[in-house]
Structure 1
């Protein structure tokens, strides 16, 4: 038990001393604030973080993810076409695509795809 405690305390002392050494040696200064700030296209990193975000951009991103996942689901189904029952396979594909088309129609009908209103 004593060996375990000594090993843990020795490891903690080494890691703490290395962290303190890194903070002492590091060349970070206040002048590097601009350089070290994250860059997001179109957003000023020094402004307030609670700026209004475009809801249309978010909806288009969600649509892209949904249809990207659709492709990931449809591709393996095409590979299984040879080994599965054709009636079961076609009904599954038809239902899957119909659900996606109905969702797209719903978003189109409610005006979620319009950029300017």
Structure 2
């Protein structure tokens, strides 16, 4: 058995064993005190769930998208030293162009505006 197969099977068996032990050994005895929200001993005055603006999610997704762009373009200086640097520059330019067009689209649709 090679090392990769051994490590994959060991990690699968270990995670399955730990998950099974968690289901068997977990003590689930909820009572009213454990299920109630804690607010310094007072009864809760309102709902713990507050409405959340969808614009925050949009900004978070845009941040992740541009963060991914940086992660894709980070090895670019080393990739230029490969045998075909024009192919690398073509892909990098394509990624930057797609993300720029996406940003322009979001901007024109008003997705980056905070006040309405």
1:33 aligned onto 2:38? yes
Higher RCO (Cα < 8 Å, 6 or more apart): 1
CA gap of 1:57–1:71, structure 2 versus 1, over 3 A, is same
Q: Distance in 2 between matches of 1:80 and 1:31?
A: 56
Gaps of 5+ in 1: 1-10, 36-43
CA gap of 1:108–1:29, structure 2 versus 1, over 3 A, is closer
Greater Cα radius of gyration, structure 1 or 2: 1
Q: Distance in 2 between matches of 1:30 and 1:56?
A: 32
**Aligned-pair RMSD on alpha carbons?**
3.2
Compute the displacement of 1:102 (Å): 0.2
CA gap of 1:30–1:83, structure 2 versus 1, over 3 A, is closer
Gaps of 5+ in 2: 1-20
1:64 aligned onto 2:69? no
Aligned length: 87
TM-score normalized by the length of structure 1: 0.59
Q: Deviations over 1:56-85 (max 9, x none)?
A: 111111111111111111112332221241
CA gap of 1:32–1:58, structure 2 versus 1, over 3 A, is closer
Moved over 3 A (4+): 28-32
TM-score normalized by the length of structure 2: 0.59
